[in-house]
Amino acid sequence: MAGSRALELAELEPVGPGTPAGRYLRLFWHPVMRARDLPPGRARPLEVLGEKFTIYRGEDGAAHVVAYRCPHRGTPLSLGWVEGDDLRCRYHGWKFGCTGDCLEQPNEDRPFSEKIKMASHPTREYLGLIFAYLGDGEPPPFRRYPDLDRPGVVTTDPPEVLPCTFWNKFDNDHGHRAWVHRATALRKNRKDILVVRHEEVEETPYGWRGIRTVKGEQEDMTSSLGTVSGARADAQRALGPARHTHWFMPNTRLFFQRSRAPGFENSGLWETKAAWVVPLNDTSHAAFDVTVAPVEGAEAERYAAARATQEEEAEDRWDLAEKILAGDMALEDLPDDMTAYTSFTIEDYVTQVGQGSLKDRSKENIGPSEHRTILMRRLWLREVNALVAGRPLTEWRVPDVPFLDSAPARAAAQGAE
């Protein structure tokens, strides 16, 4: 398939071992679980990139990712016991170290442990997430993001698992905002959300950067907000640092938004957010979201408590989303007291899941204004085709300095005050 012709976009949906997209994704570190969801001494099954694994945390606190099945008779290792930093299979008691070496075979009079080796994968913890490298050979340097390392309260949300291809999340361009989130905007009296915005994108050494503008800004706005009236002026002012969004290839988005935490919606607090989109298999993906809020002291405690209430509210959001997809209720029927944070996720869920797979919508009519979607697909096709053909790949580089320290970001923040 690879050597004679270029791949088409729909061929980048499969992510299992040996697939073009799967091979490319396995060149990078990915979050695979929220750290707090894996207590010491616990093993769990894990599916990511179309493969099954076992993830466990040793009694000393270190997280490990190893093969899904015991190499003896194939029993899932997540059924077994964690002993120190090792894992024992429940079926016959074979014991394995975190590096995959077989350490004990209790039923064997003449053990052959030294001949048994199972797969193990490097792990790192960062920002409340467990990352793993699932490729072959030595992993690349682990990425850190300067904007996320700034002082503040770090909130690691529960992963959002959507039953649709990861491309549906990738294709979620900024042009959807005034339409997908219309019900929330009307319920929360946020007229600025209803203003149509455009986004120009450009390739960067790390992936791409998006620059958002309010529709009509170029026609009737020079350098002063005073020339724009009504909702459009509010929308332009509300953009602030959110004028810029950044995409780190292959699957990480970093952006800035006004806080939606209860009690902070109108506080002027700007959060730094990152989202990693990780395919679980060919038909579902997980989004791992991290938020950094620049608050401290008593305000930090109040903010953390507010974010905790958001997590409690989110527990039944997918049930509501499925009812909406089934036609049993409408987005306008969501409770008035539901936070914008939760209703936004429901609105995104129904539109993205409802799209179906790439092959099911092969007759799309992409508009010339959809710059983000066009560039994202072009970059991915370019890189995966190069991988399959054995050509050099782009060496993506994360900047050393936070984006928020740049002059454009400071100017945007001042305009949003």
pLDDT band, residue 219 (cuts 50/70/90): very low
Phi, psi of 299 (to 5 degrees): -65, -35
Eight-state DSSP code of residue 351: H
Strand partners, 211: 200, 244
Query: What is the arithmetic mean of pLDDT over 19-34?
Result: 98
What pLDDT score does 320 carry?
93
Instruction: Give the separation between CA 305 and CA 338, rounded to whole angstroms.
Output: 17
| pLDDT, tens digit, 9 for 90 and up, residues 68-126 | 999 999 999 999 999 999 999 999 999 999 999 999 999 989 999 999 999 999 999 99
pLDDT at 56 over 80: yes
Q: Percent of the chain beyond pLDDT 70?
A: 89
Q: Do domains 30-133 and 146-416 have the same CATH topology?
A: no
Q: Does domain 30-133 have CATH number 3.40.50.300?
A: no
Averaged pLDDT of the chain: 89
CB 284 within 8 A of CB 164: yes
What pLDDT score does 190 carry?
81
Helix (H, G, I), strand (E, B) or coil at 402: coil
What pLDDT score does 196 carry?
83
The DSSP-derived string for 271-317 is: EEEEEEEEESSSS-EEEEEEEEE---HHHHHHHHHHHHHHHHHGGGH
Instruction: Give the separation between CA 282 and CA 17, rounded to whole angstroms.
Output: 11
Helix (H, G, I), strand (E, B) or coil at 382: helix
pLDDT band, residue 317 (cuts 50/70/90): confident
CA 402 from chain centre, in angstroms, equals: 20
**What tokens does 305 get?**
């408590």
What pLDDT score does 417 carry?
47
pLDDT at 60 over 70: yes
pLDDT band, residue 11 (cuts 50/70/90): very high
Which value, in Å, is the radius of gyration of the alpha carbons in the chain? 23
Domain 146-416 CATH (choose: 2.40.50, 3.90.380, 3.40.1350, 3.40.50): 3.90.380
Instruction: Give the separation between CA 357 and CA 203, rounded to whole angstroms.
Output: 26
What pLDDT score does 298 carry?
95
Instruction: Give the separation between CA 310 and CA 277, rounded to whole angstroms.
Output: 21
Residues 6+ apart with CB under 8 A from 411: none
Q: Percent of the chain beyond pLDDT 90?
A: 70
Eight-state DSSP code of residue 240: G
The DSSP-derived string for 14-75 is: --STTSHHHHHHTTSEEEEEEGGGS-TTEEEEEEETTEEEEEEE-TTS-EEEEESB-TTT--
Query: What is the arithmetic mean of pLDDT over 209-236?
Result: 52
| pLDDT, tens digit, 9 for 90 and up, residues 255-281 | 998 888 888 988 889 999 999 999 999
| pLDDT, tens digit, 9 for 90 and up, residues 373-383 | 999 999 999 99
Order of strands across the sheet that contains 129-133: 29-34, 129-133, 123-126
pLDDT band, residue 191 (cuts 50/70/90): confident
Instruction: Give the separation between CA 5 and CA 70, rounded to whole angstroms.
Output: 40
| pTM for this predicted structure | 0.89
Nearest alpha-carbon partner for 241 in 397, 88, 369, 404:
404
Preceding amide of 159 cis, omega within 30: no
Instruction: Give the separation between CA 106 and CA 124, rounded to whole angstroms.
Output: 32
The DSSP-derived string for 100-168 is: SBEEE-TT-SS--GGG-B--EE-EEEETTEEEEE-SSSSPPPPP--GGGSSSSEEEEPPPEEESS-HHH
pLDDT band, residue 239 (cuts 50/70/90): low
The DSSP-derived string for 179-224 is: HHTHHHHHHTT-GGGGS-EEEEEEEETTEEEEEEEETTHHHH-SS-
What pLDDT score does 310 carry?
73
- Taking residue 296's Cβ as centre, other Cβ atoms within 10 Å add up to 12
What pLDDT score does 364 carry?
84
| pLDDT, tens digit, 9 for 90 and up, residues 389-415 | 999 999 999 999 999 886 455 544 444
What pLDDT score does 406 carry?
65
Domain coordinates in residue numbering, the chain: 30-133, 146-416
